[in-house]
Chain A
Amino acid sequence: MQTTVQDHSGITVLSLAGRLDAVTSPDFERDSASYSRERVVLDLSRLEYVSSAGLRIILALAKQLKTGGGSLSVAGLDGIVKDVFEMSGFDSFLPLYPTIDAALAASAT
């Protein structure tokens, strides 16, 4: 699992590639621990697999951003990652966008 961080005019884009599972989620937990006030877009278009261990870290990130005054949205869901988000009801509390551009446009307003 690889996390890439990019700044888009004040919006932080975290791109995850590979697998976010019980093995790799501690890495992402560490990579995401410092965010609190930022507007964050999670780009999952290159994520191949996610399990509940990964969802747990995404949920923790959403909570810590909400507490800190930041925000979290998710872009680029596809395949089993999209299925897992929908099955687990994560689409009910996280704004989901088909593309990173759509997420950036929504976060900029």
Chain B
Amino acid sequence: MNERRIFEAKRDRLPDLMAFVDDFAQRAGLPPKLGLQVQLAVEEAVVNICDYAYLTPPGEVDIRLEQDGDRLTLELRDQGVPFDPLAADASDRHSALDDRKLGGLGIFLMGKVVDEVHYRREDGVNVLTMRLTTPR
């Protein structure tokens, strides 16, 4: 199963975008918790694109969701400034309350809920690919 949709990369579009992801998860028959993990990975990646990708927002985010047997692939493309989220600071998740900063956590969570994350820059496009395995 393959789904693809292009959204404006702005936070106002998130409700529709999350509905698109949820719809995919349901039709793919994912267990509820895995469906929520997929939503979390996509939300964090998309919020990052909305906030940082485009110097003159809004641009677009191209979302491709694929189920092939027990493999799920989530691919997000944007034409914003080159940005490798995997190179970003992994945030300070073990510091005390007073020292906690309010950034970096989203990308960290994104990486934790999927099995693999890859980033590449291809013909002026940021391509973020995430993979998960579904239980049989």
Interface residues of A (CB under 8 A from B): 21-23, 48-49, 51-53, 55-56, 59-60, 62-63, 66, 79-80, 83-84, 87-89, 92-93
Q: In the assembled complex, which residues on chain B have CB atoms less than 8 Å from the CB atom of A51?
A: 40, 43-44, 47, 106, 109
Q: Are A66 and B97 in contact (CB under 8 A)?
A: yes
Q: In the assembled complex, how far is the CB of residue A32 from the closest CB belonging to chain B, in whole angstroms?
A: 15
CA distance in complex: A48, B96 (Å): 27
Q: In the assembled complex, how far is the CB of residue A101 from the closest CB belonging to chain B, in whole angstroms?
A: 25
Interchain Cβ contacts under 8 Å between A and B, 20 examples:
A22-B47, A23-B15, A23-B18, A49-B40, A51-B47, A51-B106, A51-B109, A52-B44, A52-B105, A52-B106, A55-B105, A66-B98, A79-B36, A83-B113, A84-B40, A84-B109, A89-B93, A89-B94, A93-B96, A93-B100
CA distance in complex: A13, B93 (Å): 26
Q: In the assembled complex, how far is the CB of residue B28 from the closest CB belonging to chain A, in whole angstroms?
A: 17
Interface residues of B (CB under 8 A from A): 11, 14-15, 18, 33, 36-37, 39-40, 43-44, 47, 93-94, 96-98, 100, 102, 105-106, 108-109, 112-113
Q: In the assembled complex, which residues on chain B have CB atoms less than 8 Å from the CB atom of A87?
A: 108-109, 112-113
Q: In the assembled complex, how far is the CB of residue B92 from the closest CB belonging to chain A, in whole angstroms?
A: 9
In the complex where A21-B18, A66-B97, A88-B93 touch, is A56 in contact with B102 (Cβ < 8 A)? Answer: yes
In the complex where A22-B11, A22-B43, A88-B93 touch, is A80 in contact with B108 (Cβ < 8 A)? Answer: no
Q: In the assembled complex, which residues on chain A have CB atoms less than 8 Å from the CB atom of B109?
A: 51-52, 84, 87-88
Closest to B104 in A: A52
Q: In the assembled complex, which residues on chain B have CB atoms less than 8 Å from the CB atom of A22?
A: 11, 14, 43, 47
Q: In the assembled complex, which residues on chain A have CB atoms less than 8 Å from the CB atom of B40?
A: 49, 51, 80, 84
The 9 residue pairs across chains A and B that have the minimum distance between CB atoms:
A89-B93, A52-B106, A52-B105, A93-B97, A80-B36, A87-B112, A51-B43, A23-B14, A22-B47
Q: In the assembled complex, which residues on chain A have CB atoms less than 8 Å from the CB atom of B15?
A: 23
CA distance in complex: A36, B10 (Å): 32
